[in-house]
């Protein structure tokens, strides 16, 4: 993992309704993360939007459907479009989820957990090798939330993640909300997880708030960040060489000042632990 | 059981409600049908069937949220019925590709029109409003000339957002609508002609 990645600061996952507000508050957002899939084969207005954003902000492409965990390999068409976008933007890094979204000709449309097995480790590493042979920019892997764990596990989630990071020399996009949600739903300690993963590989963080639904905490990206997640973030910022922090709000979009308030809080938190 | 077989079965379970039901009632039949060992099928049924059901529901919820954003007028006129009708539709379709949400919205509008309105489960003007909204999405995605006929679309329906108090069902009209978008251009030319 390249230790000389630039520090990008604090930003948010770009969503089109915020376009005009974003430019009114240009100085309060350090960088943006864009959903890569939204700019594949873009219509002219999306192309123009991408160019506008790229002219004013560092952009980090974030993939949703590369399906790095698919045993059947990568989808060539999706990979080609993703690689083309990354080549166009020349970002300092890009990111994808540690999950599968496609199998047996079925596109699930959702990040689906992998079994924590050596066979899955090998499948992910093979797919990562393939995509990295086409892209120079460093790849960050993101931890997902999961409502179920597949039977037959040969290791814990933290071991699974660590094995893949070490074998592929990838960075980690640690979603502190996902980590917190999994710890609540599956009954483990956040601290144990953090102690078991290579924190020196953490490059970027995601944070947002979820919702309770039928006794489970769900990663809906629809609420302000809860205090418990801020606490996890504080701990990670203190211990890991983080280069960028992204608020990832997708649903129930609040007025832009609420987004800015969360970015300010993240910035203050970060400054507080590094002073 | 290989990783590929596990993933194929999970993908099918996540997207096929009837297979989830069958897994619960007869895991051995599912095992035989998909080349899965009996123990794995029984473990899936016993330990994580409920969680996979929850996962499948959240998948449909995610699709619904995206379609709501793409068909806001349809969502507004259907109100609380939107969710139920979308669930009904989502059982039968699974969009794919990088434009899957657009595809989902267009197919949902088509479902409202060709199935639910045809069976008189919803008023025709609501289905036509959805079809009208979806037509904009189609032209935005693929430059083309699109001409559509409507039996209950009125000026009021088309501009419902600006006139929320109007009840378009009171004044059905036969209308011809036209959209034109040239390749590489952003502008969409649109007009409609109320016939009678």
For A151-200, the pLDDT digits (tens) are: 889 999 999 999 999 999 999 999 999 999 999 999 999 999 999 999 99
Q: E strand or H helix at A266, and its extent?
A: helix A256-274
DSSP A148-168: ---S--SS-HHHHHHHHHHHH
Test the A interface: residue of B1, B10, B60, B105 with most A CBs within 10 Å: B10
Question: Lowest-confidence range among A146-160, A188-202, B9-23, B25-39?
Answer: B25-39
Distance CA A162, CA A158 (A): 6
Contacts of B68 in chain A (CB under 8 A): none
Asked whether the beta carbons of B160 and B168 are under 8 A apart, the reply is yes
- The distance of A50 to chain B (nearest Cα, Å) reads 15
The CA angle A60-A163-A190, to the nearest 5 degrees, is: 75
Question: Where along chain B do its domains lie?
Answer: 1-59
For A209-248, the pLDDT digits (tens) are: 999 988 899 999 999 999 999 999 999 999 999 999 999 9
Number of H helices, E strands in chain B: 10, 3
- pLDDT band, residue B195 (cuts 50/70/90): confident
What's the confidence (pLDDT) of residue B155? Answer: 65
DSSP state of A40: S
Mean pLDDT value across chain B = 87
What's the confidence (pLDDT) of residue B118? Answer: 87
For A43-60, the pLDDT digits (tens) are: 888 999 999 999 999 999
pTM of the model: 0.91
Asked whether the beta carbons of B55 and A155 are under 8 A apart, the reply is no
Residues 6+ apart with CB under 8 A from A82: A36, A40, A61, A63, A66, A131
Asked whether the beta carbons of A94 and A246 are under 8 A apart, the reply is no
Q: Is the pLDDT of residue A17 over 60?
A: yes
- The distance of B106 to chain A (nearest Cα, Å) reads 17
For B43-77, the pLDDT digits (tens) are: 888 888 888 998 999 899 999 999 999 999 999 98
What's the confidence (pLDDT) of residue A275? Answer: 75
Asked whether the beta carbons of A207 and A229 are under 8 A apart, the reply is yes
- pLDDT band, residue B35 (cuts 50/70/90): confident
Of B7, B44, B65, the CB nearest to A103: B7
Distance CA A166, CA A234 (A): 25
Q: Would you call A203 helix, strand, or coil by DSSP?
A: strand
Q: Please compute the mean of the pLDDT values over residues B89-116 and round it to a whole number.
A: 92
Asked whether the beta carbons of A58 and A92 are under 8 A apart, the reply is yes
Distance CA B14, CA B57 (A): 9
Beta strand ranges found along B73-172 (DSSP E): 145-150
Q: Closest by alpha carbon to A264, among A11, A7, A8, A6?
A: A11
What's the confidence (pLDDT) of residue A210? Answer: 95
CB < 8 Å & 24+ apart, contacts of A154-159: A154/A116, A154/A117, A154/A118, A155/A116, A155/A117, A156/A116, A156/A196, A157/A116, A157/A182, A157/A193, A158/A192, A158/A193, A158/A196, A158/A197, A159/A116, A159/A196
Q: HSE (CB half, 13 Å, CA atoms) of A43? A: 18
- pLDDT band, residue B192 (cuts 50/70/90): confident
What's the confidence (pLDDT) of residue B163? Answer: 53
Of A104, A115, A147, the CB nearest to B12: A104
Q: Please compute the mean of the pLDDT values over residues B24-29 and round it to a whole number.
A: 91
Check B65 against A214: CB less than 8 A apart.
Answer: no
Check A104 against B11: CB less than 8 A apart.
Answer: yes
Check A151 against B44: CB less than 8 A apart.
Answer: yes
Q: E strand or H helix at A34, and its extent?
A: strand A31-35
- The distance of B19 to chain A (nearest Cα, Å) reads 14
Give chain A's end-to-end CA distance (angstroms, integer): 26
Question: Lowest-confidence range among A121-130, B15-24, B147-156?
Answer: B147-156
What's the confidence (pLDDT) of residue B156? Answer: 63
Residue of chain A whose alpha carbon sits nearest to that of B96 = A107
ipTM for the complex shown = 0.92
Question: Lowest-confidence range among A79-88, A163-172, B175-184?
Answer: B175-184
Check B8 against A104: CB less than 8 A apart.
Answer: yes
- The distance of B170 to chain A (nearest Cα, Å) reads 34
Test the A interface: residue of B3, B141, B184 with most A CBs within 10 Å: B3
B48 in contact with A at a CB cutoff of 8 Å? yes
Q: Is the pLDDT of residue A262 over 90?
A: yes
Distance CA B171, CA A223 (A): 42
For B103-158, the pLDDT digits (tens) are: 999 999 999 999 988 888 898 889 999 999 999 999 988 888 999 998 887 666 66
Residues 6+ apart with CB under 8 A from A124: A68, A69, A98, A114, A164, A168
Is the four-CA dihedral B51, B54, B58, B60 of positive or negative sign? positive
What's the confidence (pLDDT) of residue B166? Answer: 52
Mean pLDDT value across chain A = 96
Q: Identify the structural domains of chain A with CATH numbers, from first to last.
A: 9-274 (3.20.20.150)
Q: Which residues pair with A59 in a beta bridge?
A: A32
Asked whether the beta carbons of A57 and A49 are under 8 A apart, the reply is no
């Amino acid at each position: 993992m390249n230790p000389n990645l630039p520090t990008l600061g604090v930003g948010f996952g770009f969503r089109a309704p915020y376009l005009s507000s974003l430019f009114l508050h240009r100085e309060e957002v350090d960088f943006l993360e864009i959903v890569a899939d939204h700019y594949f084969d873009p219509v002219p207005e999306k192309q123009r939007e991408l160019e506008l954003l790229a002219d004013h902000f560092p952009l980090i492409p974030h993939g949703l459907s590369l399906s790095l965990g698919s045993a059947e390999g990568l989808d060539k068409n999706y990979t080609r479009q993703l690689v083309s976008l990354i080549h166009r933007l020349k970002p300092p890094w890009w990111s994808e989820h540690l999950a599968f979204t496609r199998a047996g000709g079925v596109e699930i449309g959702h990040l689906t957990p992998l079994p924590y097995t050596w066979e899955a480790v090998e499948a992910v590493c093979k797919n990562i090798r393939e995509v990295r042979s086409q892209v120079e920019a460093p790849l960050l892997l993101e931890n997902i939330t999961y409502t179920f764990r597949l039977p037959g596990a040969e290791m814990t989630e933290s071991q699974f993640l660590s094995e893949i990071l070490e074998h592929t020399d990838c960075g980690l996009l640690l979603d502190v909300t996902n980590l917190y949600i999994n710890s609540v739903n599956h009954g483990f300690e956040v601290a144990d997880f953090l102690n078991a993963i290579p924190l020196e590989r953490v490059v970027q963080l995601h944070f947002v708030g979820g919702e309770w639904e039928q006794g489970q905490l769900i990663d809906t990206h629809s609420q302000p960040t809860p205090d418990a997640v801020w606490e996890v973030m504080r701990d990670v910022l203190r211990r890991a060489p983080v280069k960028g922090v992204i608020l990832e709000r997708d649903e129930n979009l609040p007025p832009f000042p609420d987004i800015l308030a969360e970015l300010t809080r993240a910035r203050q938190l970060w400054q507080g632990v590094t002073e | 059981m290989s990783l590929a077989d596990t993933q194929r079965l999970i993908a099918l379970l996540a997207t096929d409600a009837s297979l989830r039901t069958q897994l619960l009632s007869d895991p051995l039949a599912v095992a035989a049908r998909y080349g899965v060992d009996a123990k794995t099928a029984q473990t899936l049924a016993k330990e994580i069937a409920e969680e996979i059901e929850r996962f499948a529901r959240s998948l449909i919820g995610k699709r619904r949220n995206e379609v709501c954003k793409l068909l806001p007028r349809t969502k507004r006129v259907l109100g609380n019925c939107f969710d139920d009708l979308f669930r009904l539709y989502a059982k039968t379709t699974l969009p794919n590709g990088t434009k899957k949400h657009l595809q989902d919205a267009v197919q949902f509008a088509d479902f409202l029109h060709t199935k639910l309105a045809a069976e008189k489960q919803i008023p025709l003007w609501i289905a036509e409003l959805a079809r009208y909204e979806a037509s904009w999405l189609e032209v935005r995605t693929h430059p083309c000339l699109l001409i559509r006929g409507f039996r209950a679309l009125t000026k009021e329906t088309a501009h419902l957002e600006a006139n929320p108090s109007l009840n378009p069902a009171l004044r059905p009209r036969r209308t011809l609508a036209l959209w034109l978008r040239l390749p590489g251009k952003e502008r969409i030319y649109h007009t409609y002609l109320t016939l009678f």
